[in-house]
Structure 1
Amino acid sequence: MGTRHLEALFNPKSIAVIGASERSNNLGGMVLRNLMSTDYSGRLVVVNDKGYHDVHGVPCVKRPQQMPFRPDLAIICTPPESVPRIVRVLGNVKVKTAMILTGGLSRTHSRSGRPLMYSVQEIASEYGIRILGPETIGMLSPASNLNATYMHMGVLPGKIAYIGQSGSLASAVIDWAFTRGIGFSHLTTLGDGIDVGLDDLIDYLAQDRSTKAILLHMENIHSPRRFISAVRAVSRGKLVIAVKSGRTPASQWRPAELPLGVVDGDKIFDAVFRRAGVLRVNGADEMFDALETLTRMKPVRGEPLHIISNGLGPGVLAVDRLASLNGELGSLSPETVSELGKHLPPYWTRRNPIDLNYDANPELYRRTLEILGRDPHVSNVLVLYAPSLTEDSLQVADAVIEAGKRSHLNIFTCWLGHSTVYDAREAFFHSGVPTFSTPDKAVKAFMHMVNHQRSQRVLRETPESYTDPIVDRSRARKTIQKIYASGRRVLTNAESRQILTDYGINMLDTRYCETEEQVVEVAREFGAPVDIRILHEHSCIPFKDEKTGRGRYKGRVKGLVEEASIRDSCRYLLTHYREHYPDSGFLGFAVQPSFQTVGGVGFSLGVTRDPVFGPLMVCGASGAAVNVSTDRKLALPPLNMVLARDLLQQTHMFRLLKDYSYNREQDIAKICETLVILSQIIIDIPEIKGLEVMPLYFDKHGAVAVNAMIDLDKPAKLAIQPYPQELREWIMLPKSKRKAEIRPVRGEDEPSHIEFYSGLSPESIRYRFFHYRKSFTHDEMVQMLQIDYDREMAFIAMSPKESGYGEDTLGTVRAWTDADNLQCEFAIIVRDDLRGENLGWVLMRKIIEYCREKGTVEMVGSVLPDNKPMLRLAEKLGFSIRYDDEEGVMALRLPLNAPDEWQAERLKSK
């Protein structure tokens, strides 16, 4: 639904509380008292059918139709049975936003037996009312003096937005945060979320300048594509922390059926959060620690951690925890060791962690931090202190606080114990120094920040260029269409292998036989040891064997040479198959030359499909020797080489491959290429439900896929918009007769894009960015090229270099679209030497038609007054042009589609 009318939800100028009375336990009365306690400056009215003159001094009317003004926000606190009728009345009087605090609508049914929440949802949709809830706690926005909740206390103003699922947990967050002095920009819960969803609120908060970070507590994601798109957009500029509850079937109201190949459904959310750039924490305890870290810790400038303690034991505990979380323990330079040696006992360890000894005084802590601060390789320091008879914990804390004020170091602390260190912890709290009760908590909080930065680096890394080896995609597509049209949903082994071969995956030579005699004959033709696999209907379904357990069933015999052993093996496989799969039709035997894999390293790669998130990429160990749940990792397609490598590196098998591979980088690249190809297959052929390559083996010559299975279902959409290949087109420049391709940008374009900008004149750069830029950073290039095709589009004109190697960027145009698809803002730049080639016109027509087809209402842009070529082009394209006195630019506007009523209203305010 987007952010339509959400400004009235977060910042209402007038409110009606429906169902409020002066009874102490009345829900609406509690909300009204909270509104009045914060000096809310907007207009208030109460609606109560009892006919009160006023409630707590606020005027009261019997029915919504009698309200003296149309409120921005209606807060409904009446019994469940009355809510649908009230929402309809609010729709009739043109109220656009409502919060339903009433609970039980999902469990209270209408006469037809349907839960009332669905009736409310339909009525709200009919009248265009935005609904938060039912069963929400309401909204807290301290900057607007708004406490429209029934919570027991308010919150302090701050820069964190909290969106929760549970009112009880939100209450605990409010209480804890208040005692720690942590403030919020906004705080609310979704409740049943029948209309306003997580993605809508995230889109609104992305535009909110007072919100610097977002903390999410969620149970489910109902609109994965919208959620991922919204979070990916906001996480580039604001830290997003998520807590997911309902991680196991036992804690879920309706446990979801897991897709084949996935043992732990929570791993799907790991993949979603990782791809969206979200920092995930586990449970309420880590959530509170994350708040502590988020509000107080300085940005982590590097990964190495240095540890100071007044005893070796606490430091060792911290090191152990750091190692278990794949953290990096920093080293000490010879100069730092020498400086520290002047102040520490002669028997000190001369390494990190730095043991100051049990009698370390405040001055020693201060000097140690000063010495570390002079070391350019030290950035993060954990200061530990255990209570001592010789020193006062508060004085030591004061010394650390003072040293931290004069230092660039990212200092965080852990004062062990409780009663004797309470004052020290309070001192840290009031000074804004993050402090934790145990080394475990401190290190875990630090590693949360480090892991977040790691994942952000992966998302910002420029993908390697990858040459697509596909010979003929159309043949694979036609094969699947023919099979699907016939009603068959499982491909034969030979068909599956052919699909992968068409896409350039190297498959092990395989011959198919129907009888034992044919197997013997084929084995003679190979003239080498062979492997025999029995084929039946069940064995062609991807990941199906994992449900029955591979250990109980043997479907392949390897390394056969003698005729007698080949015949015995065929009979054994038949007997074993009939015993375990009596209802699965026999399809014959597959005979392959035995493959001598290096170190037994075999990968299972593929695609499975989740009913909510759609296709998922899987990567991990093959065979029964490795527990699937511990090694199989998941990722959301589409993949590029960077994302494929990130997926591979999460597996245990990655470490085995590094140890046993003849050519490590070549084999790693081959797995990544295979994952990228599989990702492309499901983009090209959305009918593929499951695809398993098992195993992918390696020897000194490279990688080979031994077996493949594919099954089909109705076409499914990816949770992330893939690269829109269909928008590519070729043109001929009229003067130079140079052939150019116009296509959407991609991350791999960064080298040519840098070259393009470096060759532009200062005037062209100024026209595009409104000031001269000599160079652009990698992060700026990421923003330009690694775009979310759901929300943004950029077309690039590329032409082969005259040398024949690589491509030249000739020009680019882009449009940023808001979350409601109301307006898109465009920008365009073309190479200086191409004036008169009509390329600007072609690029602008391309982006205009794209945005029009997408349903965007209007296109806007800003142009410097002296940019005469662009102004002439805009006039030809039909833009209206006016001078903006406030900004000092020419404002351009082009209608694309007729607006709805609410869209027209919103555009008037822009």
Structure 2
Amino acid sequence: MSTRYLESLFNPQSIAVVGASERSKNLGGVVVRNLLEGNYPGRLAVVNRRGYKEVYGVPCHSRIGELDFVPELAIVCTPPVTVPRVVRRLGEIGVRTAIVMTGGMSRTHSKSGKPLMYSVREAARKTGLRVLGPNTIGLIVPGRQLNATYAHIGSLPGKVAFVGQSGAIASSVLDWAYARGVGFSYFLTLGDGMDIGHDDLIDYLAQDTQTRAILLHMENIPNPRRFMSAVRVASRTKPVIAVKSGRVPESEWEPHELPAGIRRSDPIFDAMLQRAGVLRVDGLGQMFDALETLTRMRPLRRESLAIMGNGVGPGVLAVDRLADLGGELAELSPQTLNALSEILPPYWTRKNPIDLNYDATPEIYAQAIQILAKDPGIANVLVMYAPTLTGNSLETANAVVEAAKGTRLNVFTCWLGQSTVMESRDVFYRAGLPSFFNPEKAVMAFMQHVRHQRFQRLLTETPESFTDHFADHSDTRRVLTRALAQGRYYLSNREARGVIRDYGISTVDTMYCDDVEEVLQVFAVERRPIDVTVLHQDACYPFMELSPSQRRYKGTLKKLGNEQAIMDGCHFLMDEYLRHFPDSGFLGFSVQRSYQHVGGIEFSVGITRDPVYGPLVVCGAAGAQVSIMADRQIALPPLNMVLARELLRRTYMYKLLEEHSLRPEEDIRAVSETLVTLSQMAIDMPEIRGLEISPLLFNGDGAVAVSVAIDLDDEPGQPIIQPYPRELEEWIVLPKSGRRVIIRPVLAEDEPAHREFHEHQSPESIRYRFFQYRKHFSREDVAQMVQIDYDREMVFIANARREGGGGEETLGTVRTWTDADNLRCEFAVMVDDRMKGEGLGLRLMQKMINYCRARGTIEMVGDVLPDNRPMLQLAEHLGFDIRYNHEEDVMELRLLLNEPQSDWQKEQLKKHG
């Protein structure tokens, strides 16, 4: 992941097109024409071995080595077999970036048998050249008059970046956007993406001030961990909207090996984007509709919608679509109803949607909007208009624009029809009001805005902490190590129960027997009905898929109440086992009391592992009442209570729990706690390949596991989201007060203590930290501070027990923000005013410096106010270089952590030096 040399790609001062000629269908020739027609202002050259003097007036050279300048960007349009050699030669002469437009390189093979695109990557890596492609349409940057594509049409300037994967789709998007006046800040496709990928471009675009939103079209994601890290940062500052093709196995770009218990890979992608705060849409039309609302509407104060128009029919269509999407109609207050009754006919419906009548004038539209603006329960209004003989479309549009100005309403419009309303839609476009062609599209776009805001809100929710995730689990570690040492990739039923009990998950009391005689001995002691299950090796694997002939298999008999029934039952279970699983080793019987006061709605929860996306937490239905596979929902670990509840909420079983449980809140909490615990197990014990608890039921104390299965893998699975790094925790004792303090990475659960810490500091300390006086920190402000990814951002806090009891308090904090290239990190540190003389600021800074140095960061930087003497003295003690910046009136601090290794790193340090 790196933005290395991407500035040379997006803003090249010179370009060479390799393989261009004036033949009508020559790819390079089309590129040269587009560069010239776009009035590219930089230096241009062509390379063609045929030795033309020029191509379309651009000087031409026979060989790359004959160029009389080193271009910042080269565009390669030569036959596939020549591309690796061309790329290597470009890198050797010092070219920084190349666009390889040549296609077919994934299907053309080198002598080694590998596709040629891998040879391109190897050639680029040896010389440090960055490559976009192969098989890319190229790149358009309208604001810099750069059209380096073979597209049939250019792009208008705009504030939206489009990063696609398919050239055919990109051409269609360009055509669509140009016809509707939609412009782009950047427009490109990745093609095969052998070097420059989605993550690199997202990192660059997240920092670009000319880009207000990012649109992604993806067919595959080669490195989900890097993609996730980049997109989580970007989505916090600007909308990211994604279309992922290949939703079903038949249309997938590459066959995807599915994890146990999951039938499609698409829900995994859904879970990943939702976790990153990205809005996923179903197609390109929805992408641009969502873009309308996300970039032109304010943040939503409420999620309900008021609808008004000059007819009943369109309003009904809008309400139907809103209901289909789970939306909510706004309720009109009595005052609003009375005010509307004064301007509408006496027979109006007195409800939402509001029928203004077919003869509604522009004045009626304006008055209705002004009335709705006074209703505190109304925040969003869809205004619709159907052409009539008596109405004036344009005047009504102007009236709506004027009425919406200065209100707190989110107003968006739907002017139905085509030939007589186009000018009105232009009015809305110029006024910044989203406008749509039909009610269904308008409501869908609004609900996309609702979904996006929910995802963003989820990123800032403060989770509760219900248990100690960091307890000692050495017993579980020994069980897993012993099984793998024995060459066993499953745990026995007894071992699996012990593992989840070690993590605090309750289980139904279970006894294990080697044969029928031992089962009878258990019954003789219990003297009550028992449930008996036959155990064998195949049943020890979670998410066991039964063949059609095995689906009538019965492995458990319940409520066996006498010795004869037990003997007959055990023989029946043995016959069933031997008939359906003849090759599976026999492991005995398990016995449970038939009545253990558990029951209720049955859940199936667990862990599975995807070969690309790593461990996944799953939750859904158990039993035969509903389709287990259809209800199974997915989330990426690590989870907290907020994320666990969101995972549970997406299941069908959640609705049953709400409606039919005797203790819905307690049961929801119990399942959520279990999901968080499973998430922690996936992180603590990466050898666990799969774990299934089915069913998970309930008793008076919470959730109880009835049956559990665990299998293992000697290749540890790593989550694509960096988990809490427990290994960075450190205990110290303060020299003056003797207080015992833990210095550790921050957790989302620290938000209340973190907020209190900031609000209790002196105004001067706040000014030193934030360069301004602040009296209040909102919950959202502090949530952003504590919810970090432990990758681009790191925060260490110093916490201690409150004097006099009452939990922990925060005494100090240090944070760094690291760029995508791990070149430079910016730090900020703050210590409680009461800690003066304890050396806590020094300890926090030393810990952060050591951490950043160990992860390979080259330089640490920071700005300090000139009168902040304590911080300047600390920086001097730590060896920072300190300089005064006259323009900004700050002291600039720089500390070299590691020596730069590449020329590009040296260039960047020199540029910022």
8 Å CA contact 1:182, 1:295 repeated in 2: no
Counterpart of 2:801 in structure 1 is 800
The CA deviation at 1:319 is 1.4
Q: Secondary structure at the match of 2:329?
A: coil
Q: Please give the per-residue CA displacement for 1:826-848, whole angstroms capped at 9, x wherever unaligned.
A: 11111112111111111111000
Superposed counterparts of 1:292-307, under 5 Å:
292-307=292-307
Counterpart of 2:708 in structure 1 is 708
Counterpart of 1:312 in structure 2 is 312
8 Å CA contact 1:597, 1:699 repeated in 2: yes
Superposed counterparts of 1:261-272, under 5 Å:
261-272=261-272
When structure 1 is superposed on structure 2, of 412-421 and 124-133 the one drifting more is: 412-421
The CA deviation at 1:423 is 4.5
CA–CA separation in structure 1 for the residues paired with 2:549 and 2:470 = 35
CA–CA separation in structure 1 for the residues paired with 2:310 and 2:551 = 53
The CA deviation at 1:119 is 0.7
CA–CA separation in structure 2 for the residues paired with 1:737 and 1:645 = 41
Q: Secondary structure at the match of 2:491?
A: coil
Q: 1:870 to 1:532 in 2, by over 3 A?
A: same
Q: Secondary structure at the match of 2:108?
A: coil
Residue identity matched to 1:627: S
Q: Please give the per-residue CA displacement for 1:702-753, whole angstroms capped at 9, x wherever unaligned.
A: 3211111111111011110000000001001111111100000111111111
Q: 1:595 to 1:669 in 2, by over 3 A?
A: farther
8 Å CA contact 2:309, 2:315 repeated in 1: yes
When structure 1 is superposed on structure 2, of 520-529 and 16-25 the one drifting more is: 520-529
CA–CA separation in structure 1 for the residues paired with 2:839 and 2:721 = 34
Q: Secondary structure at the match of 1:590?
A: strand
Residue identity matched to 2:577: Y
- 2:827 aligned with 1:818: no
Counterpart of 2:97 in structure 1 is 97
Q: Secondary structure at the match of 1:188?
A: strand
8 Å CA contact 2:759, 2:777 repeated in 1: no
Counterpart of 2:766 in structure 1 is 765
Counterpart of 2:179 in structure 1 is 179
In the alignment of these two chains, the number of paired residues is 910
The CA deviation at 1:890 is 1.3
CA–CA separation in structure 2 for the residues paired with 1:703 and 1:351 = 45
When structure 1 is superposed on structure 2, of 675-684 and 469-478 the one drifting more is: 469-478
When structure 1 is superposed on structure 2, of 595-604 and 247-256 the one drifting more is: 595-604
CA–CA separation in structure 2 for the residues paired with 1:470 and 1:848 = 25
Q: 1:258 to 1:454 in 2, by over 3 A?
A: same
When structure 1 is superposed on structure 2, of 851-860 and 578-587 the one drifting more is: 578-587
Superposed counterparts of 1:429-440, under 5 Å:
429-440=429-440
8 Å CA contact 2:232, 2:276 repeated in 1: yes
- 2:377 aligned with 1:377: yes
CA–CA separation in structure 1 for the residues paired with 2:327 and 2:318 = 11
- 2:220 aligned with 1:220: yes
Counterpart of 1:857 in structure 2 is 858
Counterpart of 1:38 in structure 2 is 38
Q: Please give the per-residue CA displacement for 1:627-683, whole angstroms capped at 9, x wherever unaligned.
A: 133311100000011111111111111111122323222221111111111111111
CA–CA separation in structure 2 for the residues paired with 1:866 and 1:430 = 48
Q: Please give the per-residue CA displacement for 1:124-166, whole angstroms capped at 9, x wherever unaligned.
A: 1111110000011111111111111111111111111000011
Residue identity matched to 1:707: S
Counterpart of 2:284 in structure 1 is 284
CA–CA separation in structure 1 for the residues paired with 2:889 and 2:569 = 84
The CA deviation at 1:499 is 0.5
Q: Please give the per-residue CA displacement for 1:417-469, whole angstroms capped at 9, x wherever unaligned.
A: 44454454444445443222222211111100101101111111011122227
CA–CA separation in structure 2 for the residues paired with 1:702 and 1:753 = 31
Aligned-residue RMSD, C-alpha: 1.8
Counterpart of 2:499 in structure 1 is 499
The CA deviation at 1:288 is 3.2
The CA deviation at 1:545 is 3.4
Q: Which runs of 5+ in 1 are unaligned?
A: none
Q: Secondary structure at the match of 2:200?
A: helix
Percent pairwise identity: 60
The CA deviation at 1:207 is 0.9
Residue identity matched to 2:320: D
CA–CA separation in structure 2 for the residues paired with 1:615 and 1:185 = 37
Q: Please give the per-residue CA displacement for 1:92-134, whole angstroms capped at 9, x wherever unaligned.
A: 1011110101111111112232211111111111111100000
Counterpart of 1:902 in structure 2 is 904
CA–CA separation in structure 2 for the residues paired with 1:810 and 1:846 = 15
Counterpart of 2:736 in structure 1 is 735
CA–CA separation in structure 1 for the residues paired with 2:317 and 2:811 = 57
When structure 1 is superposed on structure 2, of 850-859 and 834-843 the one drifting more is: 834-843
Q: Secondary structure at the match of 1:892?
A: strand
TM-score (norm 1): 0.97
Residue identity matched to 2:322: L
Counterpart of 2:881 in structure 1 is 880
8 Å CA contact 1:496, 1:710 repeated in 2: yes
When structure 1 is superposed on structure 2, of 383-392 and 223-232 the one drifting more is: 383-392
8 Å CA contact 1:608, 1:615 repeated in 2: yes
8 Å CA contact 1:366, 1:403 repeated in 2: yes
The CA deviation at 1:363 is 2.6
CA–CA separation in structure 1 for the residues paired with 2:782 and 2:547 = 46
Residue identity matched to 2:74: A
When structure 1 is superposed on structure 2, of 290-299 and 472-481 the one drifting more is: 290-299
The CA deviation at 1:289 is 2.1
- 2:5 aligned with 1:8: no
Q: Secondary structure at the match of 2:441?
A: helix
Q: 1:670 to 1:845 in 2, by over 3 A?
A: same
- 2:894 aligned with 1:893: yes
Counterpart of 2:328 in structure 1 is 328
The CA deviation at 1:560 is 3.0
The CA deviation at 1:298 is 4.0
Counterpart of 1:259 in structure 2 is 259
Counterpart of 2:745 in structure 1 is 744
Q: Secondary structure at the match of 1:643?
A: helix
8 Å CA contact 1:539, 1:545 repeated in 2: no
CA–CA separation in structure 1 for the residues paired with 2:14 and 2:259 = 48
Counterpart of 2:679 in structure 1 is 679
Q: Secondary structure at the match of 1:545?
A: coil
8 Å CA contact 1:472, 1:503 repeated in 2: no
Counterpart of 2:574 in structure 1 is 574
Counterpart of 1:61 in structure 2 is 61
Q: 1:548 to 1:731 in 2, by over 3 A?
A: farther
The CA deviation at 1:590 is 1.2
The CA deviation at 1:324 is 1.7
Q: 1:771 to 1:426 in 2, by over 3 A?
A: closer
CA–CA separation in structure 1 for the residues paired with 2:802 and 2:405 = 55
CA–CA separation in structure 2 for the residues paired with 1:517 and 1:304 = 65
Counterpart of 2:621 in structure 1 is 621
8 Å CA contact 2:549, 2:580 repeated in 1: no
Counterpart of 2:776 in structure 1 is 775
Residue identity matched to 2:31: V
